[in-house]
Amino acid sequence: MLPQEFIRKKRDGEPLDEGEIAAFVSGMIDGKVTEGQVAAFAMAVFFKGMTREEAVALTLAMRDSGDVLSWADFDRPIVDKHSTGGVGDNVSLMLAPIVAACGAYVPMISGRGLGHTGGTLDKMDSIPGYKSQPSNAEFRRAVRKAGCAIIGQTGELAPADKRFYAIRDISATVESIPLITASILSKKLAAGLQALVLDVKSGNGAFMQKSRDAAALAGSLVEVANGAALSTTALMTDMNEPLASAAGNAVEVVNAVDFLTGRSRDPRLEEVTLALAGEMLVAAGLAKSHREAEEKARTALDGGAAAEHFARMVSELGGPADFMEDCRVHLPVAPVIRPVPAPADGFVTAIDTRAVGVAVVALGGGRTRPGDPVDHAVGLTDLLPVCAETTKGEPLAMVHARNDAEAARAVKAVLAAYELAPSRPPRRKAVLRRITAGD
């Protein structure tokens, strides 16, 4: 079928079959389908949507556009997690080694920062020597020896997604739920997983700010993944405040090391991390109930096994062998550190989480254009959570900046993002609901 006829069918709301979708995706790779035609198809999907069958076919075609990893010679369950992104969301750094310590293999293929949200890969890149883009052989070796490896998408995995996403980004079609679904799942299916758990964020710091939109995305991801024979469940979690008390790259790595070693753990971060760990262990068949699974995860965390697996992963992928003992020595440090003084006594009642993420980007901790360099040292730490009590002049957060001018702008941005009141607000749950196939 001619590409324009394929686009016309979707534009007119007619169903597309598996062969047509596969041919179109193949054309995206070999150049027979132009950028304009991909953009037109994306816009047609944006307005007309896709059936579950069409979304499954698109996901599988994008998966098959490149390599599909096989773990047939590995003797433990292969499981992973994906987050739709947030601020202070460093869950992956603790979750992968916790689940690995409980007996699964976790080959975690992660992404870079997008918009106001931080990227797991940018965090890992702040570790000196860490190879976040290893060869497939190096990736497999690290997974086998450490039980987990956090790396970036290689050029050989789902290359159709790379081209499709770049075009969606400039054609105002990023928010299409079927296209988001295919983009996320094509990479996870190419990773050769046996089970997947999704962390779908909702709130003022999430891409899907409204609960109903987040639920729709979670439902689409779970249905399409299971339709593609990948056992998948999702947790909807709250992103109406930063998840960790740090937001940035190196500062979130420090936060993760402190979490793994027991030096300090942000309560909401702990709630989400253990809930996702429990979900992954049940999905992997390593626990019969979520209660048993969370107890196993807690034991691996508190007993130090998770920290050992993280240290091994860092070492296997080229990072310092003593990273867990001296992470602050190895990680970059911003030259200017300034407090954000509270303007009054009171309780934190709300945080504009997106504004906090934008402040980190403005400091240089994120990108305004694809390919921009990232300053791994800058960011925010000691972010007070909602419900915290403060007094006038005490820090709401600490700004880590490259110079005084950028620090001053960040202080103003964080002050504007925080709301204080005389009374403590009710606490919100961090884990909102669980979504399974058929919900």
Residues taking part in catalysis: 80-83, 120, 168, 183, 187-188
Calpha distance 131→212 (Å, rounded): 38
Calpha distance 168→174 (Å, rounded): 5
**Cα dihedral value 287, 293, 196, 284, nearest 10:** -20
Calpha distance 264→67 (Å, rounded): 40
The residues near 16 (Cβ < 8 Å, ≥ 6 apart) are 6, 9, 10, 54, 57
Reference 40, options 16, 62, 7, 14; nearest CA is: 7
Question: Exposure string (b/e) for 5-27, b if CB count within 10 Å is 16 or more?
Answer: ebbebbbeeeebeeebbbbbbeb
- Which amino acid does the sequence have at 109? I
The residues near 204 (Cβ < 8 Å, ≥ 6 apart) are 239, 240, 351, 352, 353, 354
Is 96 in contact with 313 (CB distance < 8 Å)? yes
- Which amino acid does the sequence have at 437? A
Length reported for the chain: 439
Calpha distance 113→313 (Å, rounded): 22
Alpha helices (runs of H) in 170-266, residue ranges in sequence order: 177-190, 211-227, 250-261
Calpha distance 225→234 (Å, rounded): 11
The DSSP H or E segment spanning 340 is strand 336-341
Calpha distance 150→317 (Å, rounded): 9
- From the number of C-beta atoms within 10 Å of its C-beta (0-12, 13-18, 19+), residue 391 rates as exposed
Rg (alpha carbons) of the chain, rounded to whole number: 21
